[in-house]
Amino acid sequence: MFLPTIKKVDIKDLNTKKLPKHIAIIMDGNGRWAKQKGLIRAIGHQNGTKSVRETVEACAELGIENLTLYAFSTENWNRPKLEVDTLMKLLVSSLKKEIKTLQENNIKLSAIGNLKTLPSKVNKELSDVIKSTENNNRMTLTLALSYGSREELLNTVKEISIKVKNNIISTENIDESIINEHLYTQNLPDVDLLIRTSGEQRISNFLLWQIAYAELYFTKILWPDFTKQHLYDAISEYQKRERRFGKTSEQIS
């Protein structure tokens, strides 16, 4: 029996009028990629930065307005100290290396998460890049660092409670927009397409509120192997889905 040839999605086949406005990615599989090659996990993360670069470039070329990457979760602090240190060093060196490219390509860098828990070196580099790219407007690249969605929601509840206590907001006026304004992602639209690499089919405490109506796309590709082609495949699949937002098919068409 012959399997039909799987046609590669060409960038030209994508419908530029139906692009997701916000893509979020759970970059998973760096460790397994390294293990498969008999290498240490740090090399997996190092190669993961190449996929970050390629994905940012592909999104900017396509005209995606927002890209959010899950780079370090609140739970990742529980990894061996050596691995945490390696990831932090990689962040600093990547930020140093990429600042020029971000500027040249008019990309604004932003960060979400419990940033005060990051080492001062990371925070310093991060705020430098955020400051120097703040007026860029082609695309917003958001790094989720020391990020956990439950922590973000807890923080939101606390901030709103304080405002209620101080009579800045009344309980009756709390609605979805008030919650949105207090999330770390306050200036970002909801996620349209969530991609997770490495074959795992979990959300892992990422943007729980913001993905309420996102299309989920899981691929077995390990993050260091993720290329522009894989991104086009994900967007092509997204464009085939009917997003009904609770309505009927007839209402949509």
To the nearest 10 degrees (0 to 180), the angle between helices 41-62 and 81-104 is 20
Q: Which is nearer to ligand FPP, 93 or 137 (CB)?
A: 93
Q: Reduced to 3 states, what is the DSSP secondary structure of residue 73?
A: strand
DSSP state of 28: -
Residue 192 falls in the annotated catalytic set = no
Both tokens of residue 161?
A: 């409670």
CB 11 within 8 A of CB 233: no
Please tell me the count of residues contacting ligand FPP according to CB under 6 A. Answer: 20
Q: Binding ligand FPP by CB under 6 A: which of 11, 76, 179, 236?
A: 76
Look at phi and psi of residue 207 and say left if phi exceeds 0, alpha if psi is from -120 to 50, else beta.
Answer: left
The neighbour count for residue 196, using CB atoms within 10 Å, is 23
Residue 233 falls in the annotated catalytic set = no
Q: Segment 142-201, which members bind ligand FPP (CB under 6 A)? A: 143, 198
Q: Binding ligand FPP by CB under 6 A: which of 20, 22, 48, 74?
A: 48
Q: Which is nearer to ligand FPP, 147 or 238 (CB)?
A: 147
Catalytic residue among 10, 13, 15, 28: 28
Q: Which residues bind ligand FPP (CB under 6 A)?
A: 27-32, 45, 48-49, 52, 69, 71, 76, 87, 90-91, 94, 143, 198, 223
Active site residues: 28, 76
